[in-house]
Amino acid sequence: MESDYVPIACLLHEQFEYAVLKRAWLELVWRDEMGLEVHGKVLPTDVYTQAGAEYLQGVTESDERVKVRLDLIGEARWSDSGEALEGWDRQACRKPDGQE
């Protein structure tokens, strides 16, 4: 099965993995599977590949489990400093194909 996943920069991928290892909270803005924009503070627990796409798994402040496709993340900041992840230059979340 072919995926519409668009790989992210290696530097960003490594920073998501670093956040998992350091148990560092991130402030994220992403598009969900319905194309809706979601804002939240997430504690990443895993970064993995599934069906040709890469995902960040984590837990929100309200203890909700989330699974976010990496190419649908429009903004990522370290919660403790408010600084964007290094190399971040995305202007907006990418919507899933077929959605405007």
pLDDT digits (tens, 9 = 90+) for 2-41: 578 999 988 899 999 999 999 999 999 999 888 999 999 9
Q: Write down the pTM of the prediction.
A: 0.83
DSSP codes joined into one string, 17-32: HHHHHHT--EEEEEE-
pLDDT digits (tens, 9 = 90+) for 38-51: 999 999 999 999 99
Greatest alpha-carbon pair distance for the chain in Å reads 40
Domain 10-78 has CATH 1.10.1270.20: no
Domain boundaries, the chain: 10-78
